[in-house]
A = this chain, B = another copy of it.
């Protein structure tokens, strides 16, 4: 038997095992051909891990088996425990993946096996990639539905006392689009239940969870989240902690670096989380624009139909709103800047961004009309009343206090550069993708005060030298990197000339 040792290396999603090349009990080269081993404790298969061979006895000795931090934690045994290994029997569900690769469609049971093996960390990154790519090539709507249901099944499922539980989701890609943080307090102030879970940024400069974290704690447990919703009708928490769709979290960790982003996978990902969150009514925001995820009305329509199809099959009432995605929403990009925009709208401040206010009101209005007590067409007016009366602000403060107010000072990045108009003219386009990258290079979302403050939007007239936006950064290297990148191409087009 080998002695278990924890190796302090963070291998993220992968389980990794380490064996000395001069191991006393096994010949590691023999195992390398198999690529994965099963780690056994008392003869019982506990964990599958990728095997790496180590030539440094300080890392792993000849009678030791090392496990990376995640694998060690998942195995759940104490260091020093006796373990053995054997070549891993690959998950049987890989047969289904190969079948899919070769052009067959999978039935619900097969998809469920794949997803449950992925959620149990039995797939390596390359096997996950094989599954995703085989699905990206072609996927039937029934497979998409099975995928949604299988992903919702392996995670936590929330349940609520209220007969109507509303939710909203934006497919993303538009910087500054923080409507959730205005819609939730309006809807909650009205009295509907809206337990919102949001994501953190992966490749964007801020997710709703990152922006909310400027104001309050967001990594609540399921129980804490339920208490906040009981007290306030709504919440804005980080979904990762609530573990609604662990398989989706794993799939996304491979989808992102590969940049595979198909409609079917997007729908399954979103709908599995909403189904697990216990929502009954869902509003989906699909922004269209030349630098958004969806670029044409035809694409938006197809995506809308997919959401409606899955919603209908899993008993979730889905509405889709197609919105303007030609430029960022609001004036700030980055956690602190976006939080300032949100609070300005809720407070009715004079400089509050009109586009963010208007879009939030329209979405809140649509959601409010799910209340049978509200007359058709009156949702918008009701939302505006709740916002302008201060009721939404009051609810937001209640939610913030219930989640745990962030009392630490949140300052804007002190290093700034202004990017100016190169000519007179009218702003005709703003590249969302470029601005997101600039904000990211400036340090967002890791440095909450980093990002971009916009001074001009599409349709505004500018004179040569007028500032278009200001970059905020916290570190000199990030500041230079972002400013240089913005100087190279600002992301703004003036009168048809970029």
Q: Which residues of A contact B (CB under 8 A)?
A: 7-12, 18, 21, 27, 29-30, 32-36, 52-56, 58-59, 69, 90, 94, 98, 101-103, 124-130, 132-134, 136-138, 202-203, 254, 256-260, 446
A288 to B358, CA, bound (A): 70
* A35 adjacent to B133 (CB under 8 Å): no
Taken together as a complex, chains A and B put the C-alpha atoms of A313 and B289 apart, in Å, by 46
Contact B52 A136 (CB under 8 A): no
Most buried by B among A124, A132, A137, A202: A137
Q: Which residues of B contact A128 (CB under 8 A)?
A: 126
Q: Closest CB-CB distance, A462 to chain B, in whole Å?
A: 32
Given contacts A133-B130, A136-B101, A446-B27, contact A8 B260 (CB under 8 A): no
Tell which of B10, B98, B129 touches A259, judged by Cβ atoms closer than 8 Å: B98
In the complex, which residue of chain B has the Cβ closest to the Cβ of A25?
A: B477
Measured in the bound complex, the distance between the Cα atoms of B273 and A271 in whole Å is 48
Say yes or no: A126-B257 contact (C-beta < 8 A), given A55-B69, A101-B136, A202-B33: yes
* Cβ 8 A contact of A258, one of B8, B126, B258: B126
- Distance A132 CA – B94 CA, assembled complex (angstroms): 15
Q: Which of A53, A90, A103 has the most CB of B within 10 A?
A: A53
Q: Is the CB of A58 within 8 A of B55?
A: no
Assess whether B10 is in contact with A54, with CB atoms less than 8 Å apart. Answer: yes
Contacts of A446 in B (CB 8 A): 27, 29-30
Known A69-B55, A126-B257: A18·B9 in contact at CB below 8 Å: yes
Complex contacts, A55 vs chain B, CB 8 Å: 8-10, 69
Chain B neighbourhood of A127, CB < 8 A: 129, 257-258
- A129 to B21: give the CA distance in the assembly, Å: 27
28 of the cross-chain contacts (CB-CB < 8 Å) are: A7-B59, A8-B54, A9-B18, A9-B52, A9-B54, A9-B56, A10-B21, A10-B55, A11-B52, A12-B32, A27-B446, A29-B446, A33-B256, A35-B257, A36-B257, A98-B259, A101-B137, A101-B260, A102-B137, A103-B138, A124-B257, A125-B125, A126-B258, A127-B258, A129-B129, A130-B133, A130-B258, A130-B260
